[in-house]
Structure 1
Amino acid sequence: MDTQTQAPFEPHYKSKRYKKLGRPKRWRKRLSLLFAGLLVAMLGGAGWFYLTPSGSDIRYMMADTLITSQHRYLAKYLIGQSELDRRVAEYAKKFDEMGRIKDEHNVALAAHPDSDVQLERISTAKYKGYIMYVHDPKMIRVATTSIVGSGETVLSMVKRTGAIAGVNGGAFDDPNWDGNGFKPAGIVMSGGKVLYKGDGMQASVNVVGIDRDGLMVAGRYKPSQLLAMGVRDAVTFQPKFIVNGKGLIKNEADGWGIAPRTVMAQQKDGTILFVVIDGRQPGYSVGATLYDIQKLLLARGAVTAANLDGGSSTVLVKDDAVVNKPSSQYGMRYLPSAFLVFDHPEDFDAGNIWSGIDMEHFDSSKPRTQSAS
């Protein structure tokens, strides 16, 4: 009876025991296979990323995106320090060459009885933003910060001056990336006067601006040349990428990475277009390359276009409100200059906040307090 009663249960007992003892071996084998698969995938992905043309295109696009941000140094982990230095120098050289291309100014400035400022919403799977149309280019002026030792937000400039609208302007010195923005880079002109000339009157810089007749001027010029040309308002930035109705950026790979963008352009009838594209916000808008903006503007008949300061500086203000979504988690940056639109631009005087200050020794990483000398 004992044999009969034990026999049916013996296989069951052994089965449980063998399963219990065999389970770790099977799991170890599965984990080993999983890790091996992951390792192969990682090595294969790294090989594709670093060794194939398609992977390299993406890698360089990522590097260019970092180059346009405050984290430029991180690009060395994608392309190496020597390649990073070479690429930055290559962009600088290319932008200078683009700035020297002669502009025939194929613009027939028309009378603009309608002075309305219009907004067009831009929305694609990749990026979102706005185009602001200013039909009368003479309504546009460069405004500057009103705070000694600090930049000023575009919203504050618009409210302070009574402007209709405004976008961020030119480059500035910001060594610690804290957004102080008091010290411009290059030059600043407003009302036909040179308010700031970091390298003197005879040094060529890339500028974006507008002359007394409302004609957009972009390219590489000396401040003395700009005065002789009758340029009224200008800031420093680059590159000029549409000249005489033709795009200078050949493809996506040369589009200087994906980022928030601010761009100024002009159509044949003189209408000025300010393109403001949001970026660095996954799920909403990652940003655009300059090649993206070039296609956007050529489709709208732009004959001239140039890049303005973008990234976390990108902002569009209209009717005393911020229209777009700036990328900085800290809000709008404090800037030295902005392009503002006025109902009565002839009444606007920017003054000169930098007059009497020795800017050569000014440290813009120390905000707010700076005495005149």
Structure 2
Amino acid sequence: MPARHPALARAQAFAGRYGLQAPVLMAPMAGASPVALARAVAQAGGMGALGALLMDPVAITDWVARFRESGGGPLQINLWVPDPPPRRDAAHEAALREFLGRHGPPVPATAGDVPLHDFHAQCQALLAARPMAVSSIMGLLPPAFVAQLKAAGTAWFATVTTVAEARAAEAAGADVIVAQGAEAGGHCGAFRAEAARDEAVGLFALLPQVVDAVRLPVVATGGVADARGVAAALLLGASAVQPGTALLRTPEAAVNPAWAEGLAGAAPEGTRLTRAFSGRGGRALATGYVQAAAAPGVPEPAPYPVQRGLTAAMREAAAAAGDLQHLQAWAGQAAALAPARPAGDVVRGLWAGACELLG
């Protein structure tokens, strides 16, 4: 039956274009996109996802093979566009190691030397995997790679956090714009790291202005965790939604139990934008460590990925101990709305509830 509401018709058209039953895309969360979660979202009619930042080409290929062997379905794979090489400061890093040693195990002098995976090699692995979509965050994909994606029939979903970024992504050849509001959990996708905090815009201010600024379909992400949020995003012009935190309490996500419990009890004001884990700004639960890292007199976090390396020992120890206060517990401002139900039920409920609300 054709949708009576224009917002539903738009969303159904987007879903049809990408082989979906529901215009619900799993957020591609690096380190939190297990095959089981992506499969459950895809089999419920949405689009599964892989955040491939932390994976080499072999790991990417293996993940995609396991996803397809288990049933597969529409898939998005995400990569970060690399920042320029970070500036190093030995004295500053020594002060950070001393501070972090008070919150976890001693930090080795070489901890900040964390290598990044080869971005070009990761891109080639994505081309070989041929997902439905490749998505970007932190900037624009290189033109040569964009041309390869288009030749392969793979869509480019470009994540943006401002209207200017959306226009730039459209001009660069993106097929879909993913508008990320400041409510979103995890890393902020701002093209310039230094602008992430000062230029942070809430989704419901950003979304309609991005929709007005570009001619491409727009996917809404950030703070969308129940059917009310989906319906509101569609009314503001979105063609689909991309929940992340809303899926983290599902059994398929299999996140640390302390993290899942922290999400359940989080008020919107109980999250913070912080650089304290990776050096790149992201929204996390306002845990003891996050607050301590923001206290006066504490050394500023090092740039990405140096800070990620410096905090690795603390994060690993906290995960092993179930210590929420030092865990890397990313969380959007709608975290408390995330249901502890199977991911397929969440996806179906988001879409069915939005359809009911929009009539």
Going by fraction, where is helix more abundant, 1 or 2? 2
**TM-score using structure 2 length:** 0.29
Largest Rg, 1 or 2? 1
**TM-score using structure 1 length:** 0.28
